[in-house]
Structure 1
Amino acid sequence: MNTNRFKPTARFVPSASIRNAGSAGIRKIVQVAVPGLCLLLTACGGNMEDPKIELNPHPKMRYAITVAMENAPGPFDSLTAQGQFEIENKECAPKQATSGLHVTPFGRLPIQLTRSADGRYQGEFYMDGLKDENYFGRDVCHWTLVAISVRAVEKTTTFDAPLYKERLLQDGWDRRFFSNTTYQNTPKGMIDTGSKTKEGLPDPGASFSIYISAKDRSHD
């Protein structure tokens, strides 16, 4: 029995209303101080000290997240969302002795999604969720959001839809289109990042989309 099936239903099944709505380097996963928080360090070889990344104890930039599967051809095994972060002042991180390049930390924070009555999924996210701190003993590292990423998995295929920070701040939403053929064939180990438009797909009429919105709730 597969215990990773999307809950509360056995599989993620889009509701009828939603279905019908229109420097290369080595990545190292390090230990962090918060369960569920993943940190990646991208470097050019060699060992480095693992910093203990912390959550911001007093976040203020709260966003309400909405995810909808539109015209999906069937159910999914799982649906997850996460915030992806990077350090904007890379000089706070140490340099590699061999290359002279700075280590580039990336952080990921999971976003818990709950299904609402209309079949959409709601979550809460803090854009300032990671704590700015002097993790490497050089200077305070400042985290910045790169994107909110939603992943729908069907068998061995992952459909990945991003809402980049620039689009989030400008429009507050984005939509990514995917081919029904990819869903039906589920290529092994494939991560499908889709298309910004239907016209970018081989058969625009046989497609579905993942919609993501983020509304500022900091002052609510």
Structure 2
Amino acid sequence: MAALRQSGMVGDMTTRDGRCIPAMGLLMLLLMPGCGIGSVSPGARWQQQVKENESPKQGIDFRWTVRDAPGPFEKVVGRAQYDVINSGECGYVQPATGTPTGMTTSMEVPLVKISDVEYKGTVFQDLLKDGNYYGRAECRWGLAAVAVVFRATGAADETRFDTLMNRESLIAGDTVEKFYLDRDYPKVERVPAYPAFGESDVNRYVPAFRQATFSASIRSNGEKE
């Protein structure tokens, strides 16, 4: 059993959302502590306990703008990433290694359409309630970043353009601009759902592509006093 844990077979049995994979053999399931068919692994149980604050107060307003795009973007979605900042004190401890696991989650940020090329939204630093999920200590949630993901029509195979701003830049009231290649719109052949994160400096692209780019930016209003 120890050899199986060290080889990584136990980890391979758990899906990204923490659910155990059934039909892999009763022996394998028994090797996974607390993990049976249809159950949630101990390291992921916090996902079922996380709650939102009913009236969050620490909001940061931001605006997303796209310029010189080769076509329209009909699907524009805001997402915020939250991390537990003290997972070493409060997180689930892996029995095989004695190390605590990190905790991170993504929440949708509602966006308001201003025009075909501009949206605004508010991301809250205190959206998630702190909680004690494993009886060790209270886990404290913190905002890590906000991102706007945009696609031509929203079709599954289209390029997923992404503009991201981290917490420090949001608080400081900064502007983040990224440059993307026209050739990646609306999709990249043979690469469904291609992720395009852009470049902060257009000169990082080869000269032949620099004249065929467009940009998108997030401008933060900064932390409210």
Q: Which bin holds the TM-score, normalised by the shorter protein?
A: 0.7 to 0.9
1:183 paired to 2:185 = yes
Answer yes or no: is the 8 Å Cα contact 1:175–1:196 preserved in 2: yes
Instruction: Give 1:147's match in structure 2, choosing from 128, 136, 145.
Output: 145
The answer for unaligned runs of 5 or more in structure 1 is 1-23, 32-44
Q: 1:191/1:132 Cα in 2 relative to 1: closer, same or farther (>3 Å)?
A: same
> CA deviation digits over 1:2-36, x for unaligned, max 9?
xxxxxxxxxxxxxxxxxxxxxx97663269xxxxx
Q: Aligned to 2:210, what secondary structure does the other structure show?
A: coil
Distance between the aligned counterparts of 1:185 and 1:55, measured in 2?
A: 35
Q: After superposition, where does 1:54-69 map in structure 2 within 5 Å? A: 54-69=51-66
Give, in whole Å, the separation in 2 of the partners of 1:189 and 1:117. Answer: 25
The equivalent residue for 2:5 is none
Same amino acid, percent of matched pairs: 23
State the one-letter code of the partner of 2:76.
Answer: L
Which protein has the larger Cα radius of gyration, Structure 1 or Structure 2? 2
- Pick aligned residue for 1:215 from 192, 196, 221: 221
| Residues 64-88 of structure 1: per-residue CA shift (max 9 Å, x gap) | 1211111111023411011101111
Once residues 106 and 62 of structure 1 are traced to their aligned partners in structure 2, the CA distance between those partners, rounded to angstroms, is 20
1:28 aligns with 2:16: yes
- TM-score normalised to structure 1 length: 0.74
Give the structure with the larger strand fraction.
1
User: Which has the larger helix fraction?
Assistant: 2
Report what 1:124 is aligned to.
Answer: 122
Give distance in 2, aligned partners of 1:191 and 1:113: 21
Task: Determine if contact 2:173/2:220 at 8 Å carries over to the other structure.
Answer: no
Distance 1:27 1:88, change over 3 A: farther
Secondary structure at the aligned position of 1:50 is classed as helix
* AA of the residue aligned to 1:180: D
Contact 2:173 2:221 in 1 (8 A): no
Native 8 Å contact 2:151 2:161 kept in 1: yes
Query: What is the TM-score normalised by the length of structure 2?
Result: 0.72
RMSD: 2.5
* 1:103 aligned residue (101, 104, 109): 101
Tell me, which stretches of 5 or more residues in structure 2 are unaligned?
A: 1-7, 20-31, 34-40
* Aligned: 1:138 with 2:136: yes
Answer yes or no: is the 8 Å Cα contact 1:178–1:201 preserved in 2.
Answer: no
SS in 2 for 1:133: coil
Indicate if the aligned counterparts of 1:62 and 1:216 stay in contact, CA closer than 8 A: no
Q: Distance in 1 between matches of 2:199 and 2:15?
A: 27
8 A Cα contact 2:65 2:216, kept in partner:
yes
Q: Structure 2: how far apart are the matches of 1:191 and 1:110?
A: 18
Cα pair distance change 1:215/1:160, threshold 3 Å: same
Shift of residue 125, structure 1, vs aligned partner: 1.7
Is contact 1:63-1:125 (8 Å) kept?
yes
Give the Å deviation of 1:119.
4.3
Give the alignment partner of residue 70 of structure 2, picking from 48, 70, 73.
73
Distance of aligned partners of 1:163 and 1:183 in 2 relative to their CA distance in 1, 3 Å threshold:
same
Compared CA separation, residues 94 and 184, structure 1 to 2 (3 A)? closer
**Hey, what does 1:161 align to over in structure 2?**
163
